[in-house]
Amino acid sequence: MKVSLVQMNSREDKSQNLKEAARLVEETVKSEAPDLIVLPEYYAFLGEGRSNIHDNGETFPDGEAYSLMSGLAARHGVTIHAGSVVEKEGNAHYNTTVVFGPDGKELARYRKMHLFDIDAPGGTSYRESDTISRGEEIVTYKVGDTTVGCAICYDIRFPELFRKLRDAGADVIVLPAAFTLMTGKDHWEVLARARAIETQTYFLAVGQALSHADGKKWCWGHSMVIDPWGHIVAQCSDGVGTTSARLDLGYVGRVRADVPVAQHHVI
C-alpha cells in the first residue's frame, strides 16, 4: 500500500486553499500514484473568529470542499482522506474528516473528539470548543483489505482512542493536524512515534505548516509516516509539499508477534 501526505499552508481564503489542495493532489497522483492521499486538518479554511469559521463550514454532501475531494477521488481512482473541514449539522458545527473512496463516494466520516482548549507557551490562547462541538464515535474504514483508523490533531494526546482503533482492527492510523509551532517543536514527533509504537500500526501524521492569522499563529508541519516500530520512514520539510512511502503491511504482524502487547493488557 502506497500513501502520500499533503502538507499545506492553508489560510482564510477558502477558494485559494481549495485550488492549492487540488493542485497538490493532482501532482501527487501524477508523480507517486498512491493508494491513499491524506490532507491536513482544516485544509479548506484555517481562520479566526467564530462567525468566520462557521460561515466557511459546509453541510454535507453539499459544499465546495466535499464536492472537490469526491471528484478528485473518482477522477483518479484513489482514496482521499480529506484532512478535516467544519461540518454544519443543524445548530452544531464539527471538526470533521471525510474519506472518499476510489469511486468518489463517502467511505467514512469522523468528528474530532478532543477539542483544543489551551493557553500555549508564548501566551497565545486557543479555544476550539467556542466554535466546535465534540464528536463521539470511533471510526475506521478500508483501503483494499487494510483497516485504517481516524483521529485529528489534539486527539494525539489521548492514547485511549488509539488503543480502541487498534482493537477495532486498524493497521494504519491517520492523524490530520494543524499542530502549533510552540507545542509541535517539542511534542509532535514524540507523541506521533509513541502512538505508533504502542498501537504497533503505521501512523500517518499530516500537518499544516508556516503562518496563518496574519502571521500571529504558526503551524509546525513536519508531516511524517512512522512504522510500527516507531521509525520515521518519510517526512516533509518545513514548508508546503508532499512525501510518500510504501507500507509493508506484513511488518505490522511481525512487530505484533515479536512484542504482543495487545495480549498483555490487564486493565
What is the tens place of the pLDDT at every residue in 114-123?
A: 998 888 767 7
**Angle between helix 14-32 and 64-76 (nearest 10):** 10
Written as nine digits, the cell of 172 is 494504519
Reply yes or no on whether the pLDDT at 58 is more than 80: yes
> Would you state the pLDDT for residue 126?
80
Reply yes or no on whether the pLDDT at 75 is more than 90: yes
Q: Residue 70: helix, strand or coil by DSSP? A: helix
Reply yes or no on whether the pLDDT at 156 is more than 80: yes
Active site residues: 41, 112, 153
For 33, 214, 262, the CA distances from 205, given in Å and listed in that order, are: 20, 25, 22
Reply yes or no on whether the pLDDT at 20 is more than 80: yes
Reply yes or no on whether the pLDDT at 214 is more than 90: no
| DSSP label at residue 171 | S
Q: Residue 66: helix, strand or coil by DSSP? A: helix
> Would you state the pLDDT for residue 242?
98
Reply yes or no on whether the pLDDT at 124 is more than 80: no
The HSE-up count of residue 161 (CA atoms within 13 Å, CB side) is 25
State how far the Cα of 35 lies from the Cα of 23, in Å rounded to an integer.
18
Written as nine digits, the cell of 67 is 464536492
Q: Binning pLDDT at 50, 70 and 90, where does residue 76 land?
A: very high
- Angle at the Cα of 18 (from 13 to 22), degrees rounded to 5? 150
Cβ atoms of 172 and 202 closer than 8 Å: yes
Longest CA–CA separation in the chain, Å: 51
Cβ atoms of 242 and 27 closer than 8 Å: yes
* Architecture of the domain defined by 2-259: 4-Layer Sandwich (3.60)
Structural domain boundaries in the chain = 2-259
State how far the Cα of 191 lies from the Cα of 183, in Å rounded to an integer.
11
Handedness of CA 74, 75, 78, 82 (dihedral sign): negative
